[in-house]
Structure 1
Amino acid sequence: MLAETICAAVSAAGLGIAVITAYRKRFLAATRIAAYSLVPVGLVMTGVVEWVSDIAFKPSVWIGFGLLGVAWLLFMTTRAVERRGGGTRRERRAARAASRRAAVAPAASAPPLTSGAAAPASQAQSRPAKKQQAPPGEDFSDIEAILKKHGI
């Protein structure tokens, strides 16, 4: 009830200012002021003011907003920890398993020892030279093309 009264008073004052502005031959400004002053009455008539006042003065609504804030905070915290810790639990488990296999694999698949130092040199020559490849996720060719397109 109080909010509706305040909105009506603000609208009446705004319309009064609009009339004074129109009297001074500033019709465009007077029309704009009249439009702004009709908004509070329109909000009261549509029920928006009652809805907002119901939200603003109910403790259960504020508790709900608080719970939403806590949920958002927990979500953001878990995302930050996940990014810092190297991904999800499944990804970390796969990375540990891969590192264990890499540690065991060289000892199990070591080439037999041969007499003479010529064997490692011949093995090095028989292998083709590998090109340095970018690690996955670091292919910047599309970005370079966009920059060249824009002349940067």
Structure 2
Amino acid sequence: MLAETVCSAVAVAGLGIAAITAYRKRYLAATRIAAYALVPLGLVMTGVIDWLASSAFSLTAWIGFGLLGVAWLLFSSTRTIERRRAGRRETTGEEGRTAVAPAAPGPSLGAAPRGAAPRPQAKAGKAAEDDFSDIEAILKKHGI
């Protein structure tokens, strides 16, 4: 009985605030406030509040909620473990690996040291000279 009274009072107060908001020409906000204010009244009229009030003091209901929580924890933890294992397989290449050379080692997963810079591969002979000549021409064009 107390829950119904509180919900009704909240609904009436919310509708009053919505009326004041509409008076200030903020119709969209007033409509949203009225919608929120009607929710508790609708819950009272459908009987949900009676059901919640009767189950709030029931030991069986609380045990049921506890079991639902345990089930949710089990589902979420197994899903998290599956995602971690799937992510590990993708990075190591265990699943769906189609290598051209099966005897070749997999990619290195370790991080390079911070001070080490990647080594550029040296080009052979004339190709390397052509690259540098292009760079020299650009630098000369800019007067460097």
TM-score, scaled to structure 2: 0.47
TM-score, scaled to structure 1: 0.45
Q: Which has the higher helix share?
A: 1
